[in-house]
Amino acid sequence: MSAEAVGMHMPAVIKLDDVAVMNAADSNGHRYENSPEGVLSVLPPPDSVHAMIASRLFAWLIMAGWPAEQVLQAVGVRIPGPNGDGGRIPDLTVWREPPRRGVWSAVVGLALVVEIVSPGSEAMDAVTKVREYSAAGIPQYWVVERDAAQTVILRRLTHEGRYEERAKMPLAWLLQTSPGDRLDGPGSAS
């Protein structure tokens, strides 16, 4: 489909319901997200390396006792904004309790968001999502780089509402630690 054809059928204002329909209708695996300001992002389908990183982190958390209902891959998260809500689809989310059923889950009870950098998403993961996730009050935000070490940058929300980098380490090192050393345990309230 040409850009002109897409533009002709694009609504003037894209809402979360529109983004949900776009995600459901895409047969190629793209992810559609929008910022609280209404900026639409189209992300490429994850590749096998991306999937392996997500699976390793998922298994690490499950083996440490997090219930599968609280460690979710590619779930929609509603990001509140001053003029409306945006929607992001993090690669991995960890919840203090299972989120309510729905396409876009509220950030209430969300303990951690993990993004795995894909080609072209570097600025989004390092700048835009840092701003959005901190403004939404998500306690921790981790980014996994696609360098040789698969470096993980662990950020924690400060009392001032900004993320502070707490650690930076290869994924293999992180997976040798206990999630409890980095993250409040299952069912924790803080």
Diameter of the chain by CA atoms?
Answer: 51
Q: Which two tokens stand for residue 58?
A: 């998922």
Classify residue 84 as exposed, middle or buried by CB count within 10 Å of its CB (0-12, 13-18, 19+): middle
30 and 43 in contact (C-beta within 8 Å)?
A: yes
Phi-psi region of 180 (alpha: psi -120 to 50; beta: other; left: phi over 0): alpha
pLDDT at 188: 47
Indicate yes or no: pTM above 0.75. Answer: yes
Distance CA 59, CA 107 (A): 23
Whether residue 187 is predicted with pLDDT greater than 50 in this model: the reply is: no
Average pLDDT, the chain: 90
- Using CA of residue 114, residue 120, residue 122, residue 124, what is the dihedral sign? negative
User: What would the mean pLDDT of 111-130 be, rounded to a whole number?
Assistant: 92
Q: Which of 105, 103, 114, 119 has its CA nearest to residue 45? A: 119
Structural domains for the chain: 46-182 (3.90.1570.10)
Bridge partners (DSSP) of residue 79 are 86
**Per residue in 138-165, pLDDT tens?**
999 999 999 999 999 999 999 999 999 9
Whether residue 15 is predicted with pLDDT greater than 90 in this model: the reply is: no
Q: Which of 89, 111, 98, 102 has its CA nearest to residue 70? A: 98
Distance CA 53, CA 87 (A): 23
How confident is residue 186, by pLDDT bands cut at 50, 70 and 90? Answer: low
Phi-psi region of 161 (alpha: psi -120 to 50; beta: other; left: phi over 0): left
How confident is residue 11, by pLDDT bands cut at 50, 70 and 90? Answer: confident
Whether residue 7 is predicted with pLDDT greater than 70 in this model: the reply is: no
Distance CA 8, CA 150 (A): 41
